[in-house]
A and B are shown apart, each in its own frame.
Chain A
Amino acid sequence: AQSVTQLGSHVSVSEGALVLLRCNYSSSVPPYLFWYVQYPNQGLQLLLKYTSAATLVKGINGFEAEFKKSETSFHLTKPSAHMSDAAEYFCAVRPQKDSNYQLIWGAGTKLIIKP
């Protein structure tokens, strides 16, 4: 069965440093891939999604992610962290050919920004 692994339940970076949040999927056929962000006491908001059009996907708030088929990865990056980026980030996949086309979610990574 398809699964999503987010390495690190917590990631801490200093303000201004590079943010790297890891996501790996387990499928021989590349799925659709999503990154969502959840701020405290709020619902989830889409940051970006991979739809097979381009391997480097740019999202909101300066985030981007690169799809690497050989590594079955879709890591999220941001060149310079800001205090407002502190939130929980979820990677999700949706198989391209699946009658049950619900999202499969990773466990989430809490991003902590140190001043």
Chain B
Amino acid sequence: KAGVTQTPRYLIKTRGQQVTLSCSPISGHRSVSWYQQTPGQGLQFLFEYFSETQRNKGNFPGRFSGRQFSNSRSEMNVSTLELGDSALYLCASSLALNNDLPETQYFGPGTRLLVL
């Protein structure tokens, strides 16, 4: 079974631009979560989508948004890029995060975004 794929793997943008990152979850997985990873802040949760609905959201500004399609593929968008948005953006999928089951999240390789 194919793993979680993320495109593109690397991206260079300039301040003020916007960017869209894509994530294809493992087949059959309905939940997709996004994380930002930086050396200073570590792993920070952005948001989670389940069945095309945003189910949870972290503490990021409204410039960060996402969506999920009917095939569970997800995209995240960052508008008006800032230098501090430079990071590794990780996507993780799971069958369906449930409060009673400690399901495993499967991570993609990430998209490394550099904002100049």
Q: Mark B9-51, 1 if CB is under 8 A from A, else 0.
A: 0000000000000000000000001000000001101001000
Is residue A94 contacting chain B, with contact meaning CB distance below 8 A? yes
Contact, CB under 8 Å: B97 / A101:
yes
Specify which of B4, B48, B90, B109 is in contact with A102 (CB 8 Å cutoff).
B48
Q: Which of B43, B90, B110 has the most CB of A within 10 A?
A: B43
Interface size class of A (residues with CB under 8 A): 20 to 34
By a CB distance below 8 angstroms, the chain A residues around B4 are 43
A102→B56 CA distance, assembly (Å): 8
Q: How many A-B residue pairs have CB under 8 A?
A: 49
- Chain A residues near B110 (CB-CB < 8 A): 42-43
Contacting residues of chain A (31-62) with chain B, CB-CB under 8 angstroms: 32, 34, 36, 41-46, 49, 51
B92 cross-chain contacts in A, Cβ below 8 A: 43-44
Instruction: Give 5 A-B pairs besides A34-B104, A45-B107 with Cβ atoms closer than 8 angstroms.
Output: A43-B107, A43-B110, A101-B98, A103-B45, A106-B42
The 0/1 profile, CB within 8 Å of B marked 1, for residues 77-115 of chain A is 000000000000010001011111111011110000000
* B61 contacts across to A, CB distance below 8 A: none
CB within 8 Å of A: which of B70-116? 90, 92, 97-99, 102, 104-110
